[in-house]
Chains A and B, each alone.
Chain A
Amino acid sequence: MLIYAVRRIVVSIPILLVSSFVVFWLGTLSGNPLTPLILRNPPPPPHVLAAEADRLHLNEPLVPRYLSWLGGVLRGDFGPSVIATQDIGAELGARFWVTMRLIIVAMVIALVLAVLVGVYTAVRQYSKADYTATFLGFLFLAMPSFWLAILLKQGGIDFNTIVGDQVIYTIGASSVPAPPGFLARVVDIAGHLVLPTIALALISYAAWSRFTRASMLETLNSDYVRLARAKGLSRRTVMFRHALRTALIPLTTVTALDVATILGGAVITERVFQWRGLGDFLIESIRQFDTYAVTSWLLVSAAIVIAFNLVADLLYGVLDPRIRYA
């Protein structure tokens, strides 16, 4: 298992390297960082523009520029921002966990719900509950995440108005200033998480519950489950020890593949609930044509996706021992 894990990690390094180059190239395509400066009225003198282009390494060819940027990233320097005082690395670091706790909590909620509902609807196929869950799943799949998020936020505001007190937090990732004491701080952060995680989780839940149901149905109809039943094992044992374990294998892959989508969803959710997370940073950076910031953001997100895929691969090995030895 250890060798398998190490091999998976080693394999993912070149992937990350190649994607960092693609990401860098995409970043240079995202526009000229000097645009805001050029559009300024009155326009700045040419030597200011030249100095700024120099500072941002805009005159260097793509490959050397990429290599020096990559070298910097390895040392923790993510390149110069158009905002001279901003350290991209520090900014990304500060916002990283804000977004990660949103994503991870939402994923856990979505997965638990999806497995529960998926298994139940597969066992009770074509029941009323199955049809209801199917319809709700389709509805959530068809719902734009920002629309749902705005609706939830408005619901929270309305609720607070009715109660006459701030019960549900609708803005920000935590209170400013933070309440004193560790426990109070945790409660505060959890309170701020409620609505955004619901908004983010529901969309993934819809896809995953459909997937669990399908995968569970397939296993329930397979020969080895029939054999296990024929041997006289109890329904519960067959269901959880035999069927569910196999049914969960494809789900881990799908979940990992969807991480990119969830990160995208987090960009929107953060926007609606005014979180200062990675998503907010991305949008501000795009608006300011901050090439290095956008590029570094994409690199971090690619690393997150690859890390999740790695975890999925390792889980795969746990769920299906055949893979470890392949």
Chain B
Amino acid sequence: MPDASTTHRAGSAPAAVAGAADDREFTVAERSQGRLVLRRFLRHRAAMVSLVVLVGLILLAYVGGALWRYDVGEITPDNSAAPSLQHPFGTDAVGKDQLAQVLGGTRISLQVSVMVAVLATLVGTLWGSVAGYFGGWIDTLMMRIADLVLTLPLIAVAAMLAHHFGGTWYLIGLVIAGLYWAYVSRVARGVVLSLREKEFIEAARALGASNSRIILRHLVPNALGSIFVNLTILVALAILLETALSYLGFGVQTPDTSLGLLVSEAQTALTTRPWLFYFPGLFIITIALTINFIGDGLRDAFDPQQTKVRQ
């Protein structure tokens, strides 16, 4: 029980034990759920390292990209240059600086995925909780619709719609979000259904807690965990889907650029200019990997009892 040990250690700092008044001997200072969650998250080493790396990457993409001497799409006199001090990630065949390209691609890919995560979470959570809350035929109907979306290969439908709606980043985001909400709705419904039946909700009710108190103090904080964890998974999934779409030629189009588009453009140059292929790929992997670890840390932090590993 990691929870108990944490509580104990925190409550019995040496000084406190030595000088504690008798009536405080067996009690610990009350701490809010939020602080507990934060503590547990901070102790998750992989998640913390990932958070630092991810924040660094975001700063690099936005601040570094603005300060860097070349802009996205700017053509420099050097072409096909290997990585050097002048061009840390090398240049492509027409002389575009690859660092500027990768940072620009990172910005677009991040924007798309954050947009997808937020939109899909909002719609999916609403959809799933309404279905779970009302139950009956409303639940059946709503969840069958969600299931229908899930039986279609996401990338096929996304490619089809994106081809029609064009290659601007927010339209791509809209298309992807329009498909991912179904996943979120299943998670949200599951959370609502299981929480409704939990003993602690019953206990709170038996103790005379009002409905609004049960919702605000017990239901929402407990559901937040799953929603946040799901949000991080969505960011990672959306990055991968966006890059895959761009790779197939149905995603972000030039003059915008994305990490997937960069890899797609570089695949024929793998033997001659490998840096064009490896750097955007490494950025995609780093972003998805760090976000997955952060999601893992969040899940552990919100629900220490659950040893189940995220699929």
Contacts and interface: CB of A to CB of B under 8 A. Distances in A.
B308 A26 contact: no
A218 B307 CA distance: 8
Interface in A273-288: 282-283, 286-287
A282 B250 CA distance: 12
B194 to A, nearest CB: 15
Interface residues of A, number: 54
Contact of B157 (A26, A144, A211, A271): A26
B156 A267 contact: yes
A138 B311 contact: no
B184 interface: no
Interface stretch (B20-28, B55-63, B72-80, B158-166): B158-166
Contacts of B52: none
Contacts of B150: 257, 260
Contacts of A110: none
B260 interface: yes
A142 B157 CA distance: 22
Contact of B236 (A15, A142, A263): A142
A267 B311 contact: no
Given A144-B260, A267-B155, A26 B160 contact: yes
A217 B307 contact: yes
A210 B310 contact: yes
Given A29-B164, A139-B285, A142-B285, A286 B250 contact: yes
Given A147-B285, A260-B152, A267-B153, 20 more contacts: A19-B151, A26-B152, A30-B161, A142-B236, A142-B285, A142-B287, A143-B285, A145-B244, A146-B260, A147-B281, A150-B270, A150-B277, A154-B270, A207-B311, A214-B308, A267-B156, A283-B249, A286-B250, A298-B157, A302-B152
21 contacts: A26-B152, A139-B289, A141-B236, A142-B236, A142-B284, A142-B285, A144-B240, A144-B244, A144-B284, A146-B244, A146-B247, A150-B277, A154-B270, A208-B311, A210-B309, A210-B311, A214-B311, A218-B307, A260-B154, A271-B248, A306-B151
Interface of B: 144, 147-148, 150-157, 159-161, 163-164, 236, 240, 243-244, 247-250, 260, 263-264, 267, 270-271, 277, 281, 284-289, 292-293, 307-311
8 A-B pairs with the lowest CB-CB distances in the bound complex, closest first: A142-B288, A264-B155, A142-B289, A264-B153, A214-B309, A211-B311, A30-B160, A31-B164
